[in-house]
Amino acid sequence: MIGSTLYHAIVKRLSLLNRYFKITQFYSFLGNTAFKAVFTILIAIALFVIIDFYLIDINALLERLVESYSASIIFSIFLVSESILGLIPPELFIAWASKSPHPYFYLFILASISYIGGIISYFIGRTLFLIPAIQNYIEVKIAKHILNLRKWGGLFVFLGAVSPLPHSLVSMASGLIKYSFRLYLLWSLFRYLRFLIYAMLIFQVF
């Protein structure tokens, strides 16, 4: 009896969630995001290959970067990028890691830096919340992300972590609306999965 009641409660809950996701167009957004993710990966790899074939020997360039600059400098640049609007595509740093002495260890460090950069962006958002003039300006700039975050909560943070959506902006929006920091940390862990998936492809090219 208890098991049957629990089963029906779960089914009803899932049905309500499904209806809500349909009404808020989550499924179409998810489909578009998945398409963009695959498209972005293919375009990034194609660009790397074209540039490598016609313009610059990217392998040689990456090896020169490894030889000329210490890992700490590259990691510092990446932290700044991931903390402020994701200025440089992570794919470039993943390609750099492929030429490092310990590719997967460096990849783990990059993923951790990206995770930490997201946390910094979250607290930047929380700080901006305290300054009304700046808060209003930023809210206008990232209004779409704020709207989606309010509709889908952690699922949108998850998409920001694994998809081409700008993770830093999603993180900033999370801080701006005071989304649960604990839940933010949990959903953002999927950032590691994104780096692993991209590395499995990029490492094969370089």
pLDDT of residue 143: 84
pLDDT of residue 171: 94
Nearest to 113 by CA among 162, 71, 68, 76: 76
Residues 38, 35: Cα–Cα separation, whole Å: 5
pTM for this prediction: 0.85
Q: Return the structure tokens found at 125.
A: 């958002």
pLDDT digits (tens, 9 = 90+) for 102-128: 999 999 999 999 999 999 999 998 888
Contact between 173 and 149 under an 8 Å Cβ cutoff? The reply is: yes
Query: For the chain, which ranges sit under pLDDT 70?
Result: 1-4, 6, 8, 135, 206
Residues 109, 76: Cα–Cα separation, whole Å: 11
pLDDT of residue 42: 80
pLDDT of residue 6: 67
pLDDT of residue 8: 67
Contact residues for 201 (Cβ-Cβ < 8 A; gap 6+): 41, 45
